[in-house]
Amino acid sequence: MKYKAILFDLDGTLLDYEKEQYTAVNHDKKLFDLVNSPEVQGYETIGIPSPDSQEMKAAFRRAEVQQNPETFLKNYFEKLSLKGIPLPGAMGILKKLQGKVKLAIVSNSPGEVQDPRLETAGLSEFFKHRFYSRDIGIAKPDPAILLIALKQLNVSTEETLFIGDSITSDQPAAKAAKIDFFLFKGDFSDPVLQRMLR
């Protein structure tokens, strides 16, 4: 295989983020839309805006959610951390790669939420190396978080493949870092990916 390290995004690539979100908000469409708002996603990714900020309060008003943002978000992330649903094929590809290349997670999220989800999904054993934007203070599409991962893994950009599902964060981060990228669209048996992993 050409690569010595393969980096994976987590939500929407290895774990079923949408299904887990719906469960965490009790299948309430209004709350689902709220937790996918730029404000809540920004808080999840990098901690900004804070729950007590005017921006966050405005997001809750727009969503017509009367709950206190700080209390709601605390409860939401606690519930989300309990859910870990692997996407079809995730376990298989990780078993195939285990021991052949270095594996790492690079996710726009907090480790305190993602680590339990990996454990519940049965995927934690594959990832000794995990890089979370909320903990590091850098989020994709900033390529710096990928370069931090490469430095710790002691591999070059040419020796690395990044697999992710987002054209707004994963793909541009990989391009800026000059790392090979595969845009995951729900199928780990995709012939293009299989060729890349030969």
178 CB contacts (<8 Å, ≥6 apart)? Answer: 157
- Shared domain for 131 and 50, answered yes or no, is no
- Shared domain for 74 and 99, answered yes or no, is no
Range of the domain at 68: 18-81
Question: Per-residue pLDDT tens for 46-100?
Answer: 999 999 999 999 999 999 999 999 999 999 999 999 999 999 999 999 999 999 9
- Shared domain for 12 and 32, answered yes or no, is no
∠ CA(144), CA(46), CA(165), 5° rounding? 65
Burial of residue 65, with CB atoms counted within 10 A of its CB: 0-12 exposed, 13-18 middle, 19 or more buried:
middle
The mean pLDDT of the chain is: 97
For residue 1, what pLDDT is reported?
85
- Shared domain for 61 and 75, answered yes or no, is yes
Reported in sequence order, the residue ranges of the chain that DSSP labels E, i.e. its strands, are 5-8, 102-107, 129-132, 160-164, 180-183
Please tell me the distance from the alpha carbon of residue 77 to that of residue 121, in angstroms, as a whole number: 17
Contact present, 149 and 131 (Cβ < 8 Å): yes
Question: Per-residue pLDDT tens for 106-130?
Answer: 999 999 999 999 999 999 999 999 9
CA 43 → CA 28, 38, 53, 138, distances in Å? 20, 8, 11, 13
What is the pTM assigned to this prediction? 0.96
- Shared domain for 56 and 142, answered yes or no, is no
- Shared domain for 12 and 41, answered yes or no, is no
- Shared domain for 64 and 11, answered yes or no, is no
> Residue with structure tokens 């900004």?
48
| Domains held by the chain: number | 2
